[in-house]
Every structure is written in C-alpha cells, then in structure tokens.
C-alpha cells in the first residue's frame, strides 16, 4: 500500500497492542475482504475494483474492504500486473496482510482473473492471518496457453506479450520478468513447463509435494471458482475450474477431477472436494462480465 511512512509506522505499532485471537471478545463486525485485481487493471479503477468494493460495502455495512495496490501509484500497480515477478508480488502481499491490524482475525479473499491464482498462492504460502473463503473470479488455476483477447487499454503491451510468450516463455529472463509467462502452461511441452515455470508449477506441486501448501490450502472453509461460460480472454476456459488440456495436445480438455493433481491429491483438492469445500460456479458472459444481481446471488453469501 502507498501508506505514508508515518502512518505505516503507526499501524505497525498498533499491531503490537492488538489483542490475540484467544483473548479477544467474540467478533461482531463482518469478516474483512481482500481483493486482488487482474491483468492491466488497478486496485481502484471506479469501473472495476472500485465498483465491486462499493457493491460489497453497500450490502455489508461496516465491512473493511482492502483492494490490493501493488506499487506506489495506480500506474505502477497496472504495470506491475505485467512486469513484477509474481513470487515477489505474493511475498509483498503476505507482508501487507500480516502487518494490517484489521485483518488479524482472518479475512475472505476475492481474486479477479490472474488475481485468483495469486491469492491462492497467498493461501498456500502465508497461513497467517488466516484466509477463510477464497473466491476466484475467472482465475486460471492451471494457467493459460493463450491470451486471445488480452483486454483493456494495453493492446500494444498485449501484442508484445503474445510474441514474447510464443518465442520463449520458459527462458530464465522471461520467467523472472513477465507475469503471464509465470502462469504460461504449454500442454505440448509439459516437461518444459514443469521444469521451468517459477510460479504456477510451484504452487501446483508439479516438481514435488510441499506438504505445507497442501495443509494451508485445505484449511480454507470454501474455495469458490467462477468460470465465465462465454469467456474470450482465457485459453482454455476450463482453467477457471482448475481443468486443462489433456497433456500432449491442445484441443481436448479434461476437468480437474481427471487431472493427476487431483487423482494423486497433491494439493488436497480431492479431499476438499469430498468435504464439499470446492464450489464451482458458472456465469454466463465474457471474462469478468457479471451483473450486480449475479454477484449478490452467487458471491455475497460467501462474504457474510
């Protein structure tokens, strides 16, 4: 957050006096909400995250909503959604959440598009403060193998982006600097992805099982995944429900339940599924296009 240094220090010292969860009186305020915006967007765009924040505040009076800003300005926030190493972004966010006194009793998280998989990384890597519900709105949990309609006012960035990804998404220089390369998932060269993806292959346990990731993800109360039925931005759309192309080709997709990630239960998703913790929601419309009514009916229940 772009807090002036003084306020920042005040917040940090306030944290030291914050009551521990055990000694605190029962919580009556609504659980806070942390949101993470998508590619080419920013924390506070009145047409996107700003509007969602308003809707939530309107329906849940008194709720604390934190829309994450990655960087010091809105422009930086937007640029970082393309160029700031995701592992660094997740570390930054973990630090912000740990320091924020308003979140210490736990929070719900809502990620939009790539913000969905980034917040899942936060859940897996940073269990404190605890995330309660994770709501992924059009997130790509098995990555993407194409960005057919990279959106927004950044079309020159998008053209360059596609070229770079096709040329060498898995080279070290590109991996470390280009956000979309870090969740680029080539189903034909699955080996290359598994060995070289510095973000997605790590959080999806492609190179081995980190029990901590498994335990932390399973601690969620609900993991809600929204898929947009008429999505023209994400390839394949099944990734929004954690499905992907069957390995070795890029035509046929398989659902999460048929992936080895699930059958071997490397991430605890099978166990969560059996426990009814995975919620698969479908929305008619293009990427991130939903009505207020749809939001209130389908997502609000996970926030109250």
Ligand X SMILES: *[C@@H]1O[C@H](CO)[C@@H](O)[C@H](O)[C@H]1NC(C)=O
Q: Pick one of 12, 73, 247, 258: the residue that binds ligand X (CB under 6 A).
A: 258
The single residue of 77, 186, 202, 231 carrying the catalytic annotation is 231
Q: Does 198 bind ligand X (CB under 6 A)?
A: no
Known catalytic residue: 113?
yes
Q: Does 295 bind ligand X (CB under 6 A)?
A: no
Least spacing, CB of residue 73 vs ligand X, in Å: 29
Q: Pick one of 128, 166, 171, 230: the residue that binds ligand X (CB under 6 A).
A: 230
Q: Does 254 bind ligand X (CB under 6 A)?
A: yes
String of contacts with ligand X for each residue 125-164, x by CB under 6 A: x---------------------------------------
Q: Does 284 bind ligand X (CB under 6 A)?
A: yes
| Window contacting ligand X (CB under 6 A); options: 13-21, 174-182, 188-196, 269-277 | 188-196
Q: Given the complex with ligand X, which of 69 and 182 has the nearer CB atom?
A: 182
Q: Within positions 6 to 35, which residues make up the interface with ligand X, using CB under 6 A? A: none
Q: How many residues bind ligand X (CB under 6 A)?
A: 12
Q: Pick one of 36, 107, 199, 213: the residue that binds ligand X (CB under 6 A).
A: 213
Q: What SS3 string covers the chain?
A: CCCCHHHHHHHHHHHHHCCCCCCCCCCCCCCCEEEECCCCCCCCCCCCHHHHHHHHHHHCCCCCEEECCCCCCHHHHHHHHHHCCHHHHHHHHHHHHHHCHHHCCCEEEEEECHHHHHHHHHHHHCCCCCEEEEEEECCCCCCECCCCCCCCCCHHHHHHHHHHHHHHCCCHHHHHHCHHHHHECCCCCHHHHHHHCCCHHHHCCCCCCCHHHHHHHHCCCEEEEEEECCCCCCCCHHHHHCCEECCCCCCCEECHHHCHHHHCCCCCHHHHHHCCCEEEEEECCCCCCCCHHHHHHHCHHHCC
Binding site for ligand X (CB under 6 A): 125, 191-192, 195, 210, 212-213, 229-230, 254, 258, 284
Q: Which residues are catalytic?
A: 113, 231, 287
């Amino acid at each position: 957050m772009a807090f002036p240094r003084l306020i920042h220090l005040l917040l940090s010292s306030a944290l030291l006096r914050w009551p521990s969860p055990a000694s605190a009186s029962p919580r009556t305020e609504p659980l806070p909400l942390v949101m993470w915006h998508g590619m080419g967007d920013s924390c506070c765009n009145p047409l996107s995250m700003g509007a969602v924040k308003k809707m939530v505040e309107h329906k849940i009076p008194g709720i604390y909503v934190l829309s994450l800003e990655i960087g010091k300005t809105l422009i930086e926030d937007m640029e970082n959604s393309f160029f700031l190493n995701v592992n660094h972004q997740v570390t930054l966010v973990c630090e912000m959440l740990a320091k924020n006194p308003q979140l210490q009793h736990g929070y719900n998280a809502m990620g939009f598009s790539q913000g969905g998989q980034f917040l899942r990384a936060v859940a897996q890597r940073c269990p404190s403060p605890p995330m309660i519900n994770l709501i992924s709105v059009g997130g790509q949990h098995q990555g993407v193998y194409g960005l057919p309609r990279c959106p927004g006012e950044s079309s020159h960035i998008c053209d360059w982006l596609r070229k770079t990804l096709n040329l060498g998404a898995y080279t070290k220089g590109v991996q470390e600097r280009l956000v979309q390369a870090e969740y680029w998932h080539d189903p034909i060269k699955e080996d290359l992805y598994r060995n070289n993806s510095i973000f997605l292959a790590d959080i999806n346990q492609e190179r081995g099982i980190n029990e901590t990731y498994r335990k932390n993800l399973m601690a969620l109360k609900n993991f809600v995944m929204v898929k947009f039925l008429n999505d023209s931005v994400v390839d394949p759309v099944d990734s929004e429900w954690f499905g992907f192309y069957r390995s070795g080709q890029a035509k046929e997709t398989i659902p999460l339940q048929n992936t080895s990630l699930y059958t071997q239960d490397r991430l605890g998703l099978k166990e969560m599924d059996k426990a009814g913790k995975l919620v698969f929601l479908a929305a008619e419309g293009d990427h991130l296009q939903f009505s207020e009514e749809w939001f209130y009916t389908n997502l609000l229940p996970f926030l109250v």
